[in-house]
Amino acid sequence: MNRYQDAAPGARGATAVVDPAAEREEAGRLWLYAPGRQAPERIPVPTRPPSGDGAGPREAVLFDRDGTLVADVPYNGDPSLVEPMPGALEAVAALRARGLMVGVVSNQSGVARGLLTGHQVAAVRQEVDARFGPFDVWAVCPHGPGDRCGCRKPAPGLVLAACAYLGVSPARTAVVGDIGADVGAARAAGARGVLVPTPMTRSEEVVAAREYARDLPGAVRLLLGGPGPGEGAA
């Protein structure tokens, strides 16, 4: 979705207008999806990293959804509109081949705005899992910008929740996304953040990124062994 401004209710991908109160989630809870489960577990937003040793190799990589794994369709509730980003399938497969766990951390404010239902969020998630193979965890923020939750990126809650579920330290986790909020959430949680810019990425976010890659395969190269041309640390 367009994470910088509201989309109109009739925007492509906004397939339902519902009463926001019907889907309202308290600001202190986020949605966590375990593999094979259709409904999320509504869990408290973590405020501190899980205990564990931060030393050692990378163990998990968490991806933003819209604009990173799949094409950014504003407030998408339609599984038929899911389209993997170029190189995304190969990137996720490469991480799995190296034994890393993979997850998704996604802001879905369309729920709070009344543009998405929980069932639609779950349906799109199932389609993404069908295309890529099931991710090890999904952590979703259903709140709006004014809800003052601790999970809406760039807050660290989604990253902390995913790490806690996977049993890994944020220090041994990377987050890959296309906007500053994604790498900001990584930094706030104590994880490594890699920016993969798209036309939606603001220039100041690119300048501020500590690490960047031209595409998802480039981000994986950076995480696994070293940067290619035009990739690396700022």
Question: Which are the catalytic amino acids?
Answer: 64, 66
- State the Cα–Cα distance between residues 137 and 31, nearest whole angstrom: 11
> Which residues is 70 bridged to in the sheet?
66, 84
Q: Which of 101, 172, 91 is nearest to 139 (CA)?
A: 101
Q: Which residues, other chains included, contact 203 with Cβ-Cβ below 8 Å and sequence gap of 6+?
A: none
Structure tokens given for 77: 């509730």
27 Ramachandran zone, left/alpha/beta (phi>0; psi -120 to 50):
alpha
